[in-house]
Chains A and B, each alone.
Chain A
Amino acid sequence: MANDTDLIHPLWVRLTHWINALAIVVLATSGWRIYDASPFFAFAIPREITLGGWLGGAIQWHFAAMWVLVGNGLIYLACNIVSGRLWRKFFPLSPRAFLADVLAAVKGRLSHVDLSHYNMVQRAAYLFVMVDSVLLVLSGLVLWKSVQFPILRELLGGYEAARREHFLAMAALVAFAAIHLLMVALVPRTLLAMIRGR
């Protein structure tokens, strides 16, 4: 964290970001296979894009990657909070400035000159995905250990409700990732910065 100032993304942000991306890919693709064992919507996920082969394999991947997501996520959040970076980079959030930035983005006029500064759309999107990841972990805990976490279970509306919440939180995260990747493709310099740090 020492050379925060000359880097766009300090090393710990880059490391936790890429570990997180890997964990998310494993969790999403194995989770789809678990969903397929007993779908509660009118569709199943095509087997070809799932991980694990059979239900038992998918569960093994899922319950291994969950530790990576949680451990890595806690490190990211702790560093972000302790260093004060969370407040510096993602706040203040202003709904009006957010709308202005969305409009500017649609018109292709959003500035990307200074990559060390997140615009309102980026702030909102990144904060959203942080909160969404927390919801994914909490609903996942209810699915894994519904008897052992009674307060959490009741807060989320019970086991069956937690299944739907877990799925919807996953869908929101996948939607984020799709837009995220599109944005990175539009401004490839950001990718370089997320790899090299500058």
Chain B
Amino acid sequence: MIKKPFRQLAIDGDLVLKDATKEISRRLDQPTRRAFLQRSLSLGGLSLLSGCSLVDDSSVENALMTVSRFNDKVQAWLFDPNRLAPTYPDSMITRPFPFNAYYGEDEIRHVEEESYRLEVTGMVADKHAWTLAELRAMPQTDQITRHICVEGWSAIGKWGGVPFASFLRRVGADLSAQYVGFKCADDYYTSIDMPTALHPQTLLTLTYDSQPLPPRYGFPMKLRMPTKLGYKNPKHIQAIFVTNTYPGGYWEDQGYNWFGGS
């Protein structure tokens, strides 16, 4: 049931090759996005578009991207900073909780606890690098919430850690900045809006089901947000930065909606 979405745009040749070999048995005819748009445009009543030189593929792509940006704004407007995602009893936790990433389980990154340092940069007062012990010494909380994937499936899990808002305040982040960006040990990257970063259920997660976060769920740390889709919840976080420059994201740069809220 759980599948990972396919990367469409080549960024790193090696990764693409790896992905391709992994996917090839399942999706032999995965078209490139461009070729696909041509095909898709001849579907249904849309054939008139592909025959018309005024409307080429890239302008369709741009139009869809513009709507996606508009949808970001609508979601930011709809987002209520005080509205909580539903929480569930222990008995409703999905076991086993699914693994999902842009790579397979055999490629899960293993981060060394001893040498690990969390880098904090950008519009913050305190730029010192954090050890795990320092993070564990901060007040912790936990939550049992529903993780909703962009693919449609959902699963209930239990995460514990430091409320992200208290972490941001502790490092003296400029809370009027627009974005918080994340860089991860698995080369994943993403970014979120400040209101979501400050939401009471946004958690700098150190544990899963009351155990230290296992590598498959993002050791040593992931950002858990029950108000956003799975791909907005980065794992194996190595660096956090506060900025006013749009940082994008791994999937977002390929066309997933940036706000990605639920």
Contacts and interface: CB of A to CB of B under 8 A. Distances in A.
Contacts of B29: 47
Given A56-B256, A67-B67, A148-B83, A38 B2 contact: yes
Interface residues of B, number: 49
B256 A59 contact: yes
Interface string B3-14: 101101000000
Interface stretch (B101-109, B150-158, B204-212, B233-241): B150-158
Interface in B133-152: 146, 148-152
Interface string A144-174: 1111101001000001100100000000000
Given A35-B152, A52-B36, A56-B5, 15 more contacts: A25-B46, A37-B5, A38-B2, A38-B149, A54-B255, A55-B151, A56-B256, A59-B150, A60-B68, A60-B255, A60-B257, A61-B64, A67-B67, A147-B86, A147-B262
- In the A-B complex, list the 7 residue pairs whose CB atoms are closest, starting with the nearest: A53-B36, A56-B255, A37-B151, A60-B64, A64-B67, A38-B151, A25-B44
Interface of A: 21-22, 25-26, 29, 34-35, 37-40, 47, 49, 51-57, 59-61, 63-64, 67, 143-148, 150, 153, 159-160, 163
Contacts of A53: 8, 31, 33, 36-37, 39-40
A159 B148 CA distance: 9
> Does more than half of chain A's interface fall in helix, strand or loop, or is it mixed?
helix
Contacts of B262: 144-148
A65 B251 CA distance: 21
9 contacts: A29-B43, A34-B152, A53-B31, A55-B5, A60-B68, A60-B255, A64-B63, A145-B75, A145-B78
B234 to A, nearest CB: 18
Contact of B43 (A38, A51, A63): A51
A59 B65 CA distance: 11
A54 B30 CA distance: 8
Contact of B40 (A37, A38, A52, A145): A52
Q: Which of B36, B227, B255 has the most CB of A within 10 A?
A: B255
